């Protein structure tokens, strides 16, 4: 069942949980995500980061497949654009029927970011979609994408809670991606999260907090940030890495022919397992 980002975040807020927002780049990822969520009977956000993954597949190719699976799902699913960088990209996602869009103006000066985010809120409202925006900088430019070679270092700037409150008042966004110690991609050292900052942002800004760089974080840290108001956790890199590791093991152990569909199925098996482990922690199951 396709639902808006706002309605899925309302579920998270009322239950005091976070919803996993998993980036998809393949049919195997999409299918295994919906299966994982349905088996656990939990809502989920399925998102595509066109800015990072367009070399793997275009928004116009993957978008309708995401929509198909979301509409057919037995649990609430939001189809979301991750890290939209231009109005055109946002427009394209809304035209495909996406029910959530992120506008990422975090590299712009505050006023410009707020003005652009406001425009995106108006665009999305007309389509019944909801908006995520970002202030602060995560400290790493990209999560795992083609070739996974050069992650550019960007200096982390933690989100200021008073600025977050001002930003939400000026823009009317539904949720806010904030910087408090996570980074996109593989962690080079153990992350140390500024957990009280999450609580202060949540209280002052009055909207759900979104954690980017959400894969590779410990279960204790997930629970701690959820207790302080994180309601959407973006997750990609480690699910893709674990699937790659699993395929490597399977190939090493295999006897005889390996067909490409075997590789796709091993990847799907691993991703489903990773998604379920994450969803269990995010929704306080077990
Ligand atoms: P990871 O790189 O930690 O999986 O984060 C993904 C993300 O934040 C997408 O926006």
> Could you report the per-residue pLDDT of 96-111, keeping only the tens digit for each?
999 999 999 999 999 9
Residue 247 confidence (pLDDT) above 60? yes
Best CA proximity match to 200, nearest among 175, 216, 178, 181 = 178
Whole-number Å distance between alpha carbons of 168 and 270? 38
Task: Determine the atom of ligand 1 nearest the C-alpha atom of 138.
Answer: 8
Between 16 and 191, the more confident residue is 16
Per-residue confidence (pLDDT) for residue 82, from 0 to 100: 98
209 φ/ψ angles, rounded to the nearest 5 degrees: -95, 140
Q: Which domain holds residue 191?
A: 5-282
Name, in order, each residue with C-beta under 8 angstroms of 219's C-beta and a sequence gap of 6 or more: 281
Contact 44, 279 (CB under 8 A): yes
Output the average pLDDT for the chain: 95
Contact 120, 103 (CB under 8 A): yes
Q: How many helices (H) and strands (E) does the chain have?
A: 11, 8
b/e code 31-69 from CB counts within 10 Å (16+ = b): bbbbbbbeebebbbbbbbbbbbbbeebebeebbebbbeb
Pocket test residue of 23, 83, 243 for ligand 1, highest count of atoms within 8 A of CB = 23
Least confident range from 85-89, 137-141, 244-248: namely 137-141
Q: What's the rounded mean pLDDT across residues 54-66?
A: 98
Read off the pLDDT band of 146 (50, 70, 90). Answer: low
**Model-level pTM?**
0.95
Residue 63 confidence (pLDDT) above 60? yes
Whole-number Å distance between alpha carbons of 34 and 69? 7
Question: How does strand 77-84 pair with strand 230-235?
Answer: unpaired
**Contact 213 CB / ligand 1 (< 6 Å):** yes
Q: How far is CA 103 from CA 72, 161, 176, 246, 253, in A?
A: 27, 19, 10, 34, 44
Residue 7 confidence (pLDDT) above 90? yes
Read off the pLDDT band of 150 (50, 70, 90). Answer: very low
Residue 23 confidence (pLDDT) above 60? yes
Whole-number Å distance between alpha carbons of 157 and 268? 36
Q: What's the rounded mean pLDDT across residues 215-231?
A: 97
**Contact 185 CB / ligand 1 (< 6 Å):** yes
Best CA proximity match to 225, nearest among 156, 170, 177, 273 = 177
Whole-number Å distance between alpha carbons of 235 and 106? 19
Q: How far is the CA of 259 from the centre of ligand 1 (A)?
A: 30
Residue 82 a catalytic site member: yes
CATH number at residue 18: 3.20.20.70
Per-residue confidence (pLDDT) for residue 141, from 0 to 100: 56
How many structural domains does the chain have? 1
Q: Which two tokens stand for residue 239?
A: 């699910």
Contact 2, 245 (CB under 8 A): no
């Amino acid at each position: 069942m396709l639902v808006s980002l706002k309605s899925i975040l309302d579920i998270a807020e009322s239950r005091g949980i976070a919803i996993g927002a998993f980036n998809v780049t393949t049919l195997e990822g999409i299918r295994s995500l919906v299966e994982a969520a349905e088996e656990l009977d939990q809502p989920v956000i399925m998102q595509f980061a066109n800015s990072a993954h367009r070399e793997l597949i275009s928004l116009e190719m993957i978008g309708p497949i995401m929509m198909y699976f979301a509409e057919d799902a037995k649990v609430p699913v939001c189809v979301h654009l991750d890290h939209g960088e231009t109005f055109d990209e946002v427009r394209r996602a809304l035209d495909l029927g996406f029910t959530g869009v992120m506008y990422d103006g975090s590299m712009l000066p505050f006023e410009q970011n707020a003005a652009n985010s406001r425009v995106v809120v108006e665009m999305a409202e007309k389509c019944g979609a909801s908006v995520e925006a970002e202030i602060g900088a995560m400290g790493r430019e990209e999560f795992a994408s083609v070739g996974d070679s050069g992650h550019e270092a960007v200096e982390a700037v933690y989100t200021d809670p008073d600025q977050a409150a001002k930003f939400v008042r000026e823009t009317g966004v539904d949720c806010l991606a904030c910087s408090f110690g996570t980074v996109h991609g593989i962690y080079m050292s153990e992350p140390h999260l500024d957990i009280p900052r999450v609580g202060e942002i949540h209280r002052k800004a009055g909207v759900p907090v979104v954690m980017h760089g959400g894969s590779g974080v410990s279960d204790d840290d997930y629970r701690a940030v959820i207790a302080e108001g994180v309601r959407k956790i973006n997750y990609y890199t480690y699910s893709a890495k674990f699937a790659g590791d699993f395929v490597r093991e399977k190939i090493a152990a295999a006897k005889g022919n390996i067909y490409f569909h075997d590789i796709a199925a091993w990847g799907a098996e691993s991703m489903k397992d990773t998604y379920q482990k994450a969803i269990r922690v995010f929704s306080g199951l077990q």
